C-alpha cells in the first residue's frame, strides 16, 4: 500500500524523517550552520518537501516558498506563516518558483520511483539561482549488523524464514512502502548537467546522513563567446 503523507499529518505525524533517534534541535542547528557556512545569510529560500516547518522553529527569512504534497499541512503552514508562500504539489511537478537557496531535507529517501526521484533533482536545479542543499542518506541505514539482525528477527516472528535469511545476509535497500536507499553520488551528474557543482559533503556526527552542497557554476564570458 502506498504511503500517504496526507493521512500521516492528519493523524498527528511529523516530518522528522529519520530512522535514527537523534536530538532534532541539535541536528537542525547543525544543518543551519552548514547552510550559513556556505551561503551566508539565509534569507531567500525555496523549501522542497517543507513538511510541518519543524526545521524553521525559531528561524525566519525574507522570502520563503514551501512545497509539500500534503494539502492539510500546507493549509496549516499558511495559517502559522501568512507572509510566506506555500504550494501543495508533488515535488516532481515543476512550479513557477525560484530563489537563491533551494533546500530538500529528509525527503529523497521517501521517494520509491527512480523516475520521480530524478525529476525532483531536475526541479531543484531549475528552482535555484545559486545554492542547493540536500540532506539525505549517505549510507544505507539498513546495512549495519544491528539493523540486519533486528530486521531478520521481525521476519522470523512472521514466519518469513527465507526473507529473514535474505535480510541477514544481504540487508535491504527499501521497505517497499515508505523509504528507499540510493547511492546519491550516482545521481550527482543530474545536477552537474543542470549547471551545478557539488562543492562539499558534510557529515553530522553519529548519523548515516549527509548534507550535499551544490553551487551554481559560473559561466565566464569567454565560455559564452566560444
Strand order in the sheet with 128-137: 85-88, 63-68, 44-48, 99-105, 128-137, 209-216, 196-202
pLDDT at 224: 55
Q: Which residues of the chain have pLDDT under 50?
A: 1, 18-21
Q: What is residue 211's three-state secondary structure? A: strand
What is this structure's pTM?
Answer: 0.84
List, as one string, the DSSP characters of 105-158.
ES-GGG---HHHHHHHHHHHHHHEEEEEEEEEESS-TT-SHHHHHHHHHHHHHT
Amino acid at each position: 500500500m502506498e504511503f500517504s503523507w496526507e493521512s500521516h499529518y492528519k493523524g498527528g505525524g511529523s516530518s522528522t524523517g529519520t530512522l535514527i533517534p537523534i536530538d532534532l534541535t541539535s541536528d537542525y542547528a547543525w544543518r543551519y550552520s552548514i547552510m550559513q557556512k556556505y551561503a551566508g545569510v539565509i534569507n531567500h529560500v525555496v523549501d522542497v518537501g517543507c513538511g510541518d516547518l519543524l526545521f524553521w522553529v525559531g528561524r525566519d527569512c525574507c522570502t520563503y516558498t514551501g512545497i509539500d504534497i500534503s494539502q492539510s499541512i500546507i493549509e496549516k503552514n499558511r495559517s502559522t506563516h501568512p507572509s510566506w508562500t506555500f504550494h501543495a504539489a508533488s515535488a516532481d511537478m515543476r512550479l513557477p518558483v525560484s530563489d537563491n537557496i533551494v533546500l530538500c531535507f529528509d525527503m529523497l529517501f521517501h521517494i520509491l520511483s527512480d523516475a520521480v526521484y530524478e525529476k525532483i533533482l531536475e526541479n531543484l536545479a531549475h528552482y535555484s539561482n545559486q545554492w542547493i542543499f540536500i540532506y539525505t542518506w549517505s549510507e544505507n541505514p539498513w546495512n549495519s549488523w544491528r539493523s540486519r539482525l533486528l530486521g531478520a528477527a521481525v521476519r522470523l516472528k512472521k514466519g518469513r524464514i527465507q526473507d529473514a535469511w535474505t535480510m541477514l545476509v544481504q540487508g535491504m535497500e527499501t521497505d517497499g512502502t515508505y523509504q528507499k536507499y540510493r547511492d546519491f553520488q550516482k545521481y550527482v551528474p543530474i545536477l552537474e548537467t543542470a549547471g551545478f557543482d557539488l562543492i562539499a559533503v558534510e557529515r553530522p556526527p553519529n548519523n548515516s546522513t549527509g548534507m550535499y552542497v551544490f553551487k551554481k557554476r559560473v559561466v565566464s564570458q569567454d565560455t559564452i563567446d566560444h
